[in-house]
Each structure stands twice: as structure tokens, then as C-alpha cells.
Structure 1
Amino acid sequence: MSEAGHRVSIPDQTSGTPVPQLLTAARAGDGTAFGHLVGPLRDELHAYCYRMLGSVHDADDAVQDTFDRAWRSLDRFEDRDGSIRPWLYKIATNRALTIIERRGRRELPTDLSPQGAPLVETVWLGPYPDQPAGPTASRSPEAQIIAQESVELAFVAALQHLSATQHAVLLLRDVLAYPASDVADLLNTTVPAVNSALQRARRAVAELHPTPSQQRTLAALGDAAQRELARRYAAAWQANDVDTIVAMLTEDARYSMPPMTTWYDGRDAIRPFLVDVVLRHRWRFLPTRANGQLAFGTYLWNGDRDAYVPAGLDVLTLRGQQVAEVVSFLDADFPTFSLPAQLTR
């Protein structure tokens, strides 16, 4: 609940009423008008907060708090350009930075080389259902690449290693295409400081996330090849065919299962794990998408319930037509990814 004891309901769709009219009504205390004013920005604000925080639940809290705070302080909003969007991003950025500060810097590994702990594992990220990256106009080629990668697991994991300010600057400049002057206003700093933070953030992310974009990998494969790869992978698990699963992995593939702290490096390490896990159970796999990547809802047979029940959301990183990494989120919320709560066959 907000400080005023009231939480404004935010609809998913705009009402079609002109923004100035909605703003006037909202300032007069019309909560429905306010909901229609900010509702169209809900998804992009949520995706932004997820990139900042690495957690869908934290993003939920940050966005709701943003709307509550905006509602309570709407009388102080200065409508300079006919858009409430920059003001909401300023509030959302402040909320995200506060959450980061309160929870403290996450424990990170000292060794970030390819032989070190997987980034996704060590920063405890959660998966995210596919969302558009935001506006695409006026971006440099470098910024366009970053925007395409902006929800991929490895990229979001790399962001968690930046300072909070660098984190926000990179997202606002390269993902959301805000001018440096606007970012400086949002963060209460100067344009030179923004430009400096952006360069440092770009260098750090390039070092931590040097792998090819999954967006480009999937685009190169094409829809038909993606469907066939997904079919073969699911069929191998459902047939308890460990040899085929292993053959679909790269030699240096990785397998991790957040929130468990164990991971496996390379085919030779993954095979024994798969022999134990795959052959012990009956499986069903349903393809979906998460973080711009191929993913599967995985289900285990449960005799007591006479159904297949959720086991984890597997997010795959591809290299060509092979699987370079599997991150199996054991506590993923299946409905968020349009996956059923159970399967009967």
C-alpha cells in the first residue's frame, strides 16, 4: 500500500483519451485517468527495472512504487514536452537505485574468466518473459547491438557488476536512447559525468559479456531451424536419450540450476549429471521464450498427482546450432511464461 493507504489501479490498455485531458483529470484526483495515463508505459518501465535489478519480483515492486509515488506527487509534475515518460523514468531509476543500495552489493566472484563461476549463477538472476527493448530511433550501431542484447541473461548478469550509476547510464543511453542531457537530468548529474560513466560501463560489459548476441544467433538460424532444434532437444529429453542431448552441446557447454550453487562445465562433466537426472525421471518439455532466448518449461512425472509438474524453466544459449549453456531456473513462475501449471500427458 502507498503512504496514503491507496494503490491506484493501472489498466493494461490506454483509453484513447488525449494525454492533456487525462493529465488534467488525474491532477483533479481522477485515479482512473491516471491509470490510463501511465498504463501504456507499464511494460517498458517493468523491463527497465528488471534490467536494473535482475529480478521480476523486484521489478514488480519498483514499478508499483513508481506509480504510487507519481500519483501522490502529480501536482509537482512539470509538463514541459507533453510526455510523462521521462518523469516516470526518473522516479523508477531512483526507486531501483534505492533497492540496490538497501539490499547491498550482491556477492560476486573474484574470478570472472571463462573458467570462473557462471555470471548468471553468481548474481542470482531470475528469467524474464520476452519484451521489446524500447524505442529504436536515433541509436548508434553500437547502441543498437546493446539494445538487442539488453534482456539476454548474460548481458543482464554483466550489468550487475557495474556501479549503480553506470548501470543506469548504460540502460538509459544505449537501451532507451535518452540523450546525455536528459540522463544527466534524470540522475541529477552533469553531461560529462554521464559520458564518462557510459564509456566505463561499455568497457566493463564488453569484458564481462564478449559472447555473440543470442538475438543475432537466432536470427541467423531462422525460424524453421529454431523449431527443429527445439523439437530435437525436447524429444531427446522425453526419450531419455542422453547421447543425443550431449551431442547437441558444445564441448565447453555449461549447465547451472539457480538457486542451487552447483554448476557443470563441459560435456564430460555434464554427461554424468544428465545420466543421473534424465534416466531417473519421465520428462515433458514445452518450448517458450525468455530473455530473448530459446527456453523450455520442463515437467517431471508425479505419480501422486498423476500429472507432469513443473521442474524448472531452462533458458538456452546457442552457438550456431549447438547449445552452449543451459540455465535451469528451478523456482521459475510458469504462468509468467504462458506455461501450464501441470500436464496430464
Structure 2
Amino acid sequence: MELEGHRVELTGYCYRMLGSGFEAEDAVQETFVRAWRTYDPGRGPLRSWLFHLATNICLDMLRGPQRRARAMDLVPAAIPGADLGVPLPQDRWVYPVPDSRVDPADVAVAKETIRLAFVAALQHLPPRQRAVLILRDVLKWTAAETATLLSTTVTSINSTLQRARARLPLIGSPAGEVDEDLLTRYVSAFERYDVATLVSLLHEDATMSMPPFTWWLRGREHIRAVLLASDAPCAGSRLLPTRANGSPAFAQYLHGEPFALVVIEGDGLITGVTTYLDPGLFPFFDLPMSSAPPLRTNG
């Protein structure tokens, strides 16, 4: 039974359902375990059975009342000088995921559907509506296929999809790609803690957030004020490029040690910077645990 060939597509599905790359991988692993025990070719194609199992596992994991969110979904924007507040546990946040784990090269799935804003918006939907919307609108399953997977009728699926679309929060226009030259300038300014240049790369309504704190800022001028008043706490950082949620991202090292994962969103200028203060993400993104160059050996 060939399971690994389905891992990336299933992880992308479970990630959109659960809002956490860590939980998505756990769900896929449990899906594979159950598939080994239960799959019968007489039931139909393996792919359909895997999605059936993954859906049930995700629905079980989502039985609690609490949903994952971004800072801007939890509290109003802070003003410069406001305290960071108390950090929230990891299970309160929509967490990032490496592009490579959720974006199959042979499946035409829009990057917009793994953007942080879209995944956060999905968390507002009841789990079953969430599953139907992802299957129908993201993965392009037919109503009949979705009805079979969820053991219901086509009429019920169409009704559920209509309710899910109506309930899905507005998330604005699709984000574009951040220009490589802008990213190069951002890295240079960040590592030098050049506030003037950093701010010049931001859209006037840009946001900045730092999970696990609910504190966040909106607006270039508020971000400028905070950066100027913060006594350069990240001066001397080094950034290593990666990809997360269809967007450019950077591993931030401070004094050579892993410090944060920074996700950049934008279109022309930078519209959002989300800094996850969790070095535990580095192994998940296959990032080195030190910014020091490798030791040279002879021979």
C-alpha cells in the first residue's frame, strides 16, 4: 500500500483544517496507521479512503470549543508603548507550515489557500463546514465525491458549502508575491537595525505581530515609533531565508542562537510581518540550530 505519495496533499488538507503544521503531521501519521489496519481495495481508491480517515481524525481533534487565531483576530491593535501582555499557549495560534510540506508540485492548489489570513479565516467555520469548503473550493472535489467521503447526500453538501461560503470572514484581496529586491533590502536593513529603511519598505497600513503575545500593531508610523523606542533588541541578528504559508519567511538568529521565524506578506510593499517567537519551529522547517558556519575539516 503506497502511502507516502499522499503525505503532502493530506498534510495540506489537515493543516487547513487544524491551523497547525505540528497537528497536521500528527493527523496524517494517525491516518496512515489507521489505513494500514482498515484499508480494503473493495472500498474504493486509496486516496478517497485516506481523506475519509483524515477528515474523521481532524473532526475528532476539533471537538473542543477553542479555535486557533492570529493576534488581530483576538484583540484590537496596540498603541506604541503598550505592554506585550501575557503570552498565550501554542494551541491558541494559527501556526506556520513549510511550503514544501503542504504544496504538492503536481497539484494546482493556489498559494492563497495556505496564507495565514486564509487559514485563520477557516478557523471561524464549524469543523464540518470547514471540511466541505476545503474539499470543494480548495481541493476541487465534486459534490458527489465529497458526499461519499462524508457519508451524506449531494444536497446536504451543497447546502453546507453555501453556508460555509456565507460565513467565511472577508480577508481582503489576494496577496501578491514580495519582490526579491525588496526582500534583499529588508534583510540588509533588519540585520543592521536600520529603522528608516525598514519602515520605508512597509505599506502605510502594515501590521506587525509577535505570537505568543496578543500585542500587535497596525500602521507604518506606529511600527516606526516602536522600533525607534525599543533600544534595538534584535541588533546583530542574522536572517536565513525559507518559505512558510506561500510566503517568504526567515529564520532569525540572535547571538548565533535560533530566536524566531519571521513570515513576510506583501504586494509591492510589505503588508504584514508575523514573528513567531518559538525556536521549536526550526527543526520543523529543517533549519539549522545555529547561525555559525560549519566547521571545516581536512581530508
Confirm or deny a common fold (TM above 0.5): yes
Q: Distance in 2 between matches of 1:181 and 1:116?
A: 42
Q: Which residue of 2 aligns with 1:8?
A: none
Kindly indicate whether residue 58 of structure 2 is the aligned counterpart of residue 106 of structure 1.
no
CA offsets 1:27-70 (integer angstroms, 9 cap, x no match): xxxxxxx3xx1111111111111110011121122111111111
Q: Which residue of 2 aligns with 1:128?
A: 97
Gaps of 5+ in 1: 1-33, 138-143, 302-307
Q: Which residue of 2 aligns with 1:265?
A: 218
Q: Which residue of 2 aligns with 1:155?
A: 118
Q: 2:37 aligns with which of 72, 82, 89?
A: 72
Q: Distance in 2 between matches of 1:155 and 1:63?
A: 21
Against the structure 1 CA distance between its residues 339 and 275, is the aligned structure 2 distance closer, same or farther, given a 3 Å change threshold?
A: farther
Q: Which residue of 1 aligns with 2:297?
A: none
CA offsets 1:112-141 (integer angstroms, 9 cap, x no match): 69x9469xx99511101113268657xxxx
Q: Which residue of 1 aligns with 2:12?
A: 47
**Partner of 1:195: helix, strand, or coil?**
helix
Q: Which has the higher contact order (CA 8 A, sep 6+)?
A: 2
Kindly indicate whether residue 181 of structure 2 is the aligned counterpart of residue 228 of structure 1.
yes
CA offsets 1:161-195 (integer angstroms, 9 cap, x no match): 01111100111112211110111111122111111
CA contact (8 A) 2:77 2:215 kept: no
Q: 1:276: Cα distance to partner?
A: 4.5
Q: Distance in 1 between matches of 2:282 and 2:159?
A: 40
Against the structure 1 CA distance between its residues 188 and 287, is the aligned structure 2 distance closer, same or farther, given a 3 Å change threshold?
A: same
- Residues 213-224 of structure 1 aligned to structure 2 (within 5 Å): 214=175, 217-218=176-177
Q: Distance in 2 between matches of 1:314 and 1:87?
A: 36
Q: 2:276 aligns with which of 324, 329, 336?
A: 329
The structure whose Rg is larger is 1
Q: 1:252: Cα distance to partner?
A: 1.2
**Partner of 1:285: helix, strand, or coil?**
strand
Kindly indicate whether residue 151 of structure 2 is the aligned counterpart of residue 197 of structure 1.
no
Q: Which residue of 2 aligns with 1:164?
A: 127
Moved over 4 A (4+): 115-118, 133-137
Q: Which residue of 1 aligns with 2:193?
A: 240
**Partner of 2:114: helix, strand, or coil?**
coil
Against the structure 1 CA distance between its residues 49 and 285, is the aligned structure 2 distance closer, same or farther, given a 3 Å change threshold?
A: same
Q: 1:287 aligns with which of 233, 237, 241?
A: 241
**Partner of 1:208: helix, strand, or coil?**
coil
Q: Which residue of 2 aligns with 1:15?
A: none
Q: Distance in 2 between matches of 1:173 and 1:116?
A: 33
CA contact (8 A) 2:264 2:270 kept: yes
CA contact (8 A) 2:211 2:274 kept: yes
**Partner of 1:196: helix, strand, or coil?**
helix
Kindly indicate whether residue 286 of structure 2 is the aligned counterpart of residue 338 of structure 1.
yes
CA contact (8 A) 1:237 1:278 kept: no
Percent sequence identity over aligned pairs = 43
Q: Which residue of 2 aligns with 1:94?
A: 56
**Partner of 2:141: helix, strand, or coil?**
coil
TM-score w.r.t. length of structure 2: 0.84
Q: Distance in 1 between matches of 2:213 and 2:204?
A: 23
Gaps of 5+ in 2: 79-89, 294-299
Q: 1:277: Cα distance to partner?
A: 4.6
Q: 1:106: Cα distance to partner?
A: 2.1
Q: Distance in 2 between matches of 1:163 and 1:148?
A: 23
Q: Which residue of 2 aligns with 1:252?
A: 205
Against the structure 1 CA distance between its residues 128 and 108, is the aligned structure 2 distance closer, same or farther, given a 3 Å change threshold?
A: closer
The number of equivalent residue pairs is 277
Q: Distance in 2 between matches of 1:104 and 1:70?
A: 28
Q: 1:77: Cα distance to partner?
A: 4.9
Query: Given residue 130 of structure 2, which amino acid in structure 1 is its aligned partner?
Result: H
Q: 1:199: Cα distance to partner?
A: 2.1
Query: Given residue 172 of structure 1, which amino acid in structure 2 is its aligned partner?
Result: L
Q: Which residue of 2 aligns with 1:140?
A: none
